[in-house]
Structure 1
Amino acid sequence: MVHCLVSLCAREVVRSHSSSPSWLVWVPRELYRPLLEAAFASGRPLAVGELAQWWPERTLRVGGPKTKGSFSPNRLCVQALLLAVVRGLSDQRCALQVLDLCGLHGDEGTGDSMGGWSLTVAACTMVVQAKAGVKRTQKKDGDRERKRISALEREMDLKRERAQKNGTTKPNSDDASNRGVTGFSGFTSEQDLTKGVRRRMEMERKKGTTETGLDSKVDKKEDNCDVLAHVRADLFVNARSWERVRVALTTSGPLKLQCRYLRVEEISVSSIRTLLSLLPRIGLLGVDIRYTSLGVAGLAELLPLLSSFPSLNSLRLHYCNLDFRRDQFEQEDTLRDLSQGLACLQELRRLSLTALRLPGQLRVLLSSLPQPLEILELPYLSLSPSDLAYLSCSHHASALQQLDLSENRLEDSTLPSIRRLLSQASSSLQHLSLSGCGLTDSLLGLLLPSFGCCRALKSLALALNPLSMAGLLDLVQMAVRLPNLRQLLYPNPLEDYQPGLPDLPSSAQLLDWPLDESTDINMTSSQLNRVLLDSGRTDLLLTCDLLNYDKDLVV
């Protein structure tokens, strides 16, 4: 109740504030967080900027895991936040030392939200601008110091001219002791005056060097600038953002860029290698490489670099043109290199391999991993019966929390391995996807008892399988008996498709074949939801919407 009241009041404050920083003088530091959340939720970039510029805590975390009902960040609010952080570097009231943007980005190109690529470019631009701002400040300080020294020199010139004109000058204890330009006799020669001015200018320059860093030696060492704050973010790098990211990572300024998850798309192996060499070793948790022609040799080249990141626990390779064939020359040596490279990833817990054509090679890759995997995603891999047999008996089976075997054809010969695998993972498995695996009513009937043993299961995806309405009813009746299941992605029954569909259609045919408009599609949903109502399971979501299904929204 108290939290809801604070949130409500915070929304009213950011909605009606006068767009002036003076209003923050009266705000206690413990209210900055709810005010910032309200400003983001209400789309108030001015309030976001003012709060960030005067942030009273060492850490500002604005990202987070995606949850049901969460909103995508407003682009203007994110930009205002980044600009305010740069301004706050010169504001003594700002205590910020860590800006955490991890998880902040939304989907690219949706409304006014800022996607992963845009946020990466904006964060890198902020890092570069922060250094440029320091240089501008130093230049202003230097100009001010040079003007002060010039004024001092002109003043001394005037005094020298007056002394020469009068021939004498009155002794002045202050001048003698502080400026060192008069002698005991009270007379000052032109040479002595010149030396005094030069000595004073040298002293002022040295003092300016200490205070403002304007000496030429500092110019040579400008890359050793003190870091005032660290910026943590998930970086999305492709050919368009590569140069911007490289410059930001090599820039030494008041902001230091760190990476939690790195996602790269369509860049060369050499560029990926350069990028990995620039990233800080501490803090990188995952690498996601997509649509890149890595090749077997390229992956073997990158794995030793990945092993230098001690916290790396996730590796995802999607459509990277890996093709393992026994007839290729030196194939066994390459597989051995890959196995040794994976063995060096001591903290790896998530491995995702999509469409890499690895039939019969799963044992070679997974057996070398020192720790059991918790998340294993192997869609479109054309897994052989020997692969599934190894997986069901491997040291990974009992530790799996997420398993994705989508688009790997399952047959009668592979069912014993699948049942054994589900039995081994029954106490830990929370998310299972067998979409597009060719499961018919008979095959599903043999697997239902194994599904029922997975009591920890939270989401189950079985889209694009050729099931009839009777098979779907059996599936839902099993699902309602799983106490933790919250989402079930089911396929459209064969009765809902237009005539002409093959007896055993593939997943591609089920995806492209039109549904019969004369059939009441809502009738299927009504029959399945009736099973839910009869069982009292109002907390279980049944859906056939493959495009909008997201297991990560399950709490």
Structure 2
Amino acid sequence: MSAYNPPRLVNLAAMSLVRDEALAISSLEYLPMELYPPLFMAAFSGRQSETLKAMVQTWPFARLPLGGLMQKPHQGTIQAVLGGLDVLLAQKVHPRRCKLQVLDLRNTGQDFWNIWSGDMNHVSSSLLMAPVAEDMSRTKHPLTPLVVYIELCLKTKTSIKFLTYLLRWVQQRKGSIHLCCKKIKIISRSKENIKKILSMVKLNCVQEVELSLNQKLSTLAKFSSLLGKMRNVQRLLLPPIHGSVAEEQDHQALLQFTSQILRLQHLQDLHMEGPAFLEGRLNQMLRCLKTSLYNISITNCLLTESDLTHLSQCRNICQLKGLNLNGVTLTNFHPELLQVLLEKVAGTLEELDLNLCGIMDSHLMAILPVLSSCSQLRVLSICGNLISMAVLESLLCHTDGLSDLSLELYPAPRESYSSLGILHQERLAQLKAELWEILTDLGRPRKIWVSPSPCPYCGDDMCDHLSPNA
């Protein structure tokens, strides 16, 4: 029988009060601070525009995390909130109770609403007083300029229409509003809409850019002029990009793109999925980097041995924390190439993903000594490669001294398959039992995953916290 969780009295009071909009508005001056978030949530869900407009003008916290309540942008609700801000910004003397300094329209702030709604399943007790303490420390600061945080997701016509409305509102109040957009995700294929929206944003505030559509190299080059203006970008995620630098047009497009990468003075994370243009040209990309990378992900593409050599020699990866080469075929590469690359980053590497790389026993044996020296390593994944049981056993022994290693994802041993490549479940179960015994003998609890699938979320092959006492 499930437990009955009755509504809290404070929530019942808020729901009761919001039914009488005139009474709710007239009560705001005397309303206890604790009632503001529940009343705002009740007014928001009921789309009580006048109540929302009035509450914004007396909001007793420094931050209004409105984005945490919005599954989808509702223009009428946003207009009510912005209308309240207009009234507030027009006043020479602001209301005594109002402490509002930040309107946050990002998909954040759920903890704030969970705390005040009494939902204790998602927040720790240490967070209960955090918003109060933070906001009360700012009560003497002036309201203006008001900071508005947004994340741009250029996807559907509806979202673009909403963003256009919001950005025009901000533009018309430049002296009173500071718009801060740290993340941009572009899914829309409309180049006109993208340029229109980005022309209204201060691009030097952007810290993360994600392109989520397959692109031609020539299209990426056209976008790169805007990218070059985002000089504070720290994280760049590129979709599959098609093109051949053997063709003059694509070669010029690559030059245009890399020339703008030179402008990114704070880039730390670089993610490239399926970059067809990189084969034999990785050095051209790497030499444009001006800062040390913390994460580099080059996936599902063809690279040459010279590309891997250039990567291992790149001075910008000496502080690398994450290395992802998922889907980059290394079968025909000299085994020591991986060893040299890992030696370069052994002191800082925390996550290593070599899934579906065509790695053989010789490659893995070559990197075992350096793997054992990766003292910061937390996650190791080599799923989808054909590795023998003997080499897996050796791998477990070599990594036993890595105290931070908390998740290991390994392929089903080669001996689990027939000569025709058919997986034998009984044989796999037997080999797992042998691996369990090895971990028991080693004596340190570990979490490993042994699976014929390269994806750790689509099977029931988890050996959870293998323990020497099991």
User: Is TM-score (shorter-chain normalized) higher than 0.5?
Assistant: yes
Q: Residue 153 of structure 2 aligns to which amino acid in structure 1?
A: F
2:263 counterpart of 1:341: no
Structure 2 residue corresponding to 1:248, chosen from 166, 172, 175? 166
- Does the Cα contact within 8 Å between 1:267 and 1:292 map onto a contact in 2? no
Structure 1 residue corresponding to 2:73, chosen from 122, 133, 148? 122
Deviations 1:328-362 (A, max 9, x none): 12444333222211001111111111012020111
- Does the Cα contact within 8 Å between 1:361 and 1:387 map onto a contact in 2? yes
Q: Residue 13 of structure 2 aligns to which amino acid in structure 1?
A: S
Q: Residue 423 of structure 1 aligns to which amino acid in structure 2?
A: E
- Does the Cα contact within 8 Å between 1:101 and 1:232 map onto a contact in 2? no
Q: Residue 246 of structure 1 aligns to which amino acid in structure 2?
A: T
Find the counterpart in structure 1 of residue 437 from structure 2.
530
2:195 counterpart of 1:273: yes
Q: Residue 492 of structure 1 aligns to which amino acid in structure 2?
A: A
- Paired with 1:532 and 1:394, the residues of 2 have a C-alpha distance of 37
Q: Secondary structure at the match of 1:335?
A: helix
Find the counterpart in structure 1 of residue 153 from structure 2.
236
- Does the Cα contact within 8 Å between 1:459 and 1:488 map onto a contact in 2? yes
Consecutive aligned runs of 4 or more in structure 1 exceeding 6 Å deviation:
22-29, 81-86, 208-211, 253-257
Find the counterpart in structure 1 of residue 12 from structure 2.
19
- Does the Cα contact within 8 Å between 1:258 and 1:280 map onto a contact in 2? yes
Find the counterpart in structure 1 of residue 377 from structure 2.
457
Deviation at 1:82, TM superposition (A): 11
Alignment of 1:416-427 (within 5 A): 416-427=336-347
Alignment of 1:111-510 (within 5 A): 119=71, 121-122=72-73, 126-131=77-82, 230-240=147-157, 241-252=159-170, 258-281=180-203, 283-293=205-215, 295-319=216-240, 321-326=241-246, 328-357=247-276, 358-411=278-331, 413-497=333-417, 500-501=420-421
- Does the Cα contact within 8 Å between 2:280 and 2:304 map onto a contact in 1? yes
- Does the Cα contact within 8 Å between 2:376 and 2:404 map onto a contact in 1? yes
Q: Residue 270 of structure 2 aligns to which amino acid in structure 1?
A: L
Find the counterpart in structure 2 of residue 51 from structure 1.
37
- Does the Cα contact within 8 Å between 1:430 and 1:457 map onto a contact in 2? yes
Larger helix fraction of residues: 1
Deviations 1:466-512 (A, max 9, x none): 113223222222222212111111112233346622xxxxxxxxxxx
Find the counterpart in structure 1 of residue 105 from structure 2.
none
Deviation at 1:427, TM superposition (A): 0.7
Q: Residue 400 of structure 1 aligns to which amino acid in structure 2?
A: L
Q: Which moved more, 1:267-276 or 1:339-348?
A: 267-276
- Paired with 2:334 and 2:164, the residues of 1 have a C-alpha distance of 47
- Does the Cα contact within 8 Å between 1:124 and 1:248 map onto a contact in 2? no
- Does the Cα contact within 8 Å between 1:379 and 1:408 map onto a contact in 2? yes
Q: Secondary structure at the match of 1:364?
A: helix
Deviation at 1:367, TM superposition (A): 0.3
- Does the Cα contact within 8 Å between 1:125 and 1:244 map onto a contact in 2? no
Find the counterpart in structure 2 of residue 178 from structure 1.
none
Q: Secondary structure at the match of 1:338?
A: helix
Q: Residue 154 of structure 2 aligns to which amino acid in structure 1?
A: V
Deviations 1:413-455 (A, max 9, x none): 4433321111111111111111111112232112211211211
Unaligned runs of 5+ in 1: 1-11, 33-46, 55-76, 105-113, 139-207, 212-225, 502-513, 551-555
| Cα distance change of structure 1 residues 522 and 308 upon mapping to structure 2, 3 Å threshold | same
TM-score normalized by structure 1? 0.60
| Cα distance change of structure 1 residues 528 and 286 upon mapping to structure 2, 3 Å threshold | same
| Cα distance change of structure 1 residues 534 and 370 upon mapping to structure 2, 3 Å threshold | same
| Cα distance change of structure 1 residues 268 and 414 upon mapping to structure 2, 3 Å threshold | farther
- Does the Cα contact within 8 Å between 1:486 and 1:540 map onto a contact in 2? yes
After superposition, the CA RMSD in angstroms is: 4.1
Find the counterpart in structure 1 of residue 468 from structure 2.
none
Unaligned runs of 5+ in 2: 18-27, 94-142, 459-470
| Cα distance change of structure 1 residues 429 and 134 upon mapping to structure 2, 3 Å threshold | closer
- Paired with 2:166 and 2:387, the residues of 1 have a C-alpha distance of 52
Q: Secondary structure at the match of 2:199?
A: helix
Q: Among all aligned residue pairs of Structure 1 and Structure 2, give the percentage whose two residues are the same amino acid.
A: 21
| Cα distance change of structure 1 residues 133 and 365 upon mapping to structure 2, 3 Å threshold | same
- Paired with 1:126 and 1:280, the residues of 2 have a C-alpha distance of 25
- Paired with 1:256 and 1:453, the residues of 2 have a C-alpha distance of 47
Deviation at 1:134, TM superposition (A): 7.4
- Paired with 2:42 and 2:205, the residues of 1 have a C-alpha distance of 23
Q: Residue 149 of structure 2 aligns to which amino acid in structure 1?
A: R
Deviations 1:350-386 (A, max 9, x none): 1111012020111111201211211110001211111
2:14 counterpart of 1:94: no
| Cα distance change of structure 1 residues 312 and 527 upon mapping to structure 2, 3 Å threshold | same
| Cα distance change of structure 1 residues 523 and 13 upon mapping to structure 2, 3 Å threshold | same
Deviations 1:259-302 (A, max 9, x none): 33222224234433333222344542101101243x22222222
Q: Which moved more, 1:124-133 or 1:472-481?
A: 124-133
| Cα distance change of structure 1 residues 250 and 82 upon mapping to structure 2, 3 Å threshold | farther
TM-score normalized by structure 2? 0.69
- Paired with 2:382 and 2:310, the residues of 1 have a C-alpha distance of 23
Deviation at 1:531, TM superposition (A): 2.9
Q: Which one scores higher on RCO, CA 8 angstroms, separation ≥ 6?
A: 1
| Cα distance change of structure 1 residues 416 and 495 upon mapping to structure 2, 3 Å threshold | closer
Larger radius of gyration: 1
- Does the Cα contact within 8 Å between 1:99 and 1:230 map onto a contact in 2? no
